[in-house]
Structures are given as C-alpha cells and as structure tokens.
Structure 1
Amino acid sequence: MTVLRIVPNIATASIEEVRNFYSGLFDLEVVMDHGWIVTLASDLRAIAQIGIATEGGSGTAVPDVSIEVDDVDEVHRRAVAGGHEVLYGPTDEPWGVRRFFIRDPTGKLLNILSHAV
C-alpha cells in the first residue's frame, strides 16, 4: 500500500476568502471546484508527509500547516503587503530553514518556510 497524497481540509463559511488568501500568497491554482469544496494545487508533485510535534521549534506553537516555498522572503513580502499579521519571524532556524508564521482567514497557524541552500 502506498499513500498517494495527503490533503488538509480547511473548514470555512467563505470559500472565496480562503481561496483568495492561499492562491494570492502561494500562486496556487483551482484544480477542482464543486461549489461546496475547492481544491487548490501547484503544478509540482510533493512528498506526502505528516508532522507530529510537541512544539513548533524555537518555543513556538505547533503550526496547523507547514508550507514549503522556494522563496520565503517573497511570500513574506506578499503577506505584509496583504495586511496579514506576522506572528513569528522571518527567522533563520538552527535546523536549516528560514520561516515565518501567519494565520489564514480561518485562524489556522501557518508555518511558511524555505530550506537553506
């Protein structure tokens, strides 16, 4: 048996608001829209992972979702320009990532990161 994908589902009363948040910050495209559920995706394949943690590292809360991007500083710029409160970072962590935390419109804590090159 092989896991083919893992998809977090985010409950919301406003699909449009949350869709715009994620597509605007992360350039995700709508790949499915049934009205009651919209799925966004990038054009890249990713490894299926689940993080299990007692803390978020460096004394932070465990984030609901971690999103790895190729340019964390660009996403940070977009987040600030969009008026989203940065709750942590951007910070270069001792385990080799640069990251920051924000909340999505539903209150989910997002860990946005890039691995050091």
Structure 2
Amino acid sequence: MISDRRTILGAGLGLCVGATACRNEDGMYGLIGKMIAKPGQRDALIAILLDGTGAMPGCRSYIVAADPADANAIWITEVWEREADHDASLQLPAVQEAIGRARPMIEGFGERFVTEPIGGVGLSS
C-alpha cells in the first residue's frame, strides 16, 4: 500500500520512483544502500567492503560509512559510469571473494536507492 502511494505521489509530482523510472541511459548510475552487520561484526565487515575495491572499472566513487545512530548499520554509496559497469563489477574475482568473506557477517539489508548522479565534488559532470 505504501509503495502504491509512493508511485502515485511520485507520478503526480513528476518524480522518479522506481529503479528504472527515470534513468537516463547516458547518465551515471548510483546506488545508496544500507547493510546490517551481525552484532559486533560491523568493523570487520567494513574492512572487507573496503578491501580490494581499488580496481573496479567504471567506478567513480565507492564510499562506506558507519551509521552513527546504529552500531550495526553500514551505508554504502556508489557512483558508476554506467549500470553495466556496476553489474560487471559483481563478477570480478576480488569482489566475488569479498562477497564470500562478508556473507557470514551480514544480518540483512535496509533501504536501497538507485540514483542518477549529476555531478559534485569529485565527479565531473
């Protein structure tokens, strides 16, 4: 029901609501997501998320942040040249290895938002 309201409200205001609702195929691709670590595992999980992320073709920004209001929550903000670059990164050996190491430390996931980055500090428009 809330999802239906969001879709109706978003359509009425001309906002992008769904993951593909307003995506510009030529624009950058962004993700903002919340990951929940198992109790006491957040720092170890953050270390895995940061390890081996230097060589991801098409990645403009990959930020891992601890949530100051939740001792188990992590926010990950990503900017990619294209959605295909993000998808391809998931097949990289270093990323696959990190996923395998991280999986036992993950309790679950929270919000996830797809964005279309336009520019800003560190990103050329």
Scaled by the length of structure 1, what TM-score is found?
Answer: 0.36
Q: Which protein is richer in helix relative to its size? A: 2
* Larger RCO of the pair (alpha carbons < 8 Å, separation 6+): 2
Scaled by the length of structure 2, what TM-score is found?
Answer: 0.35
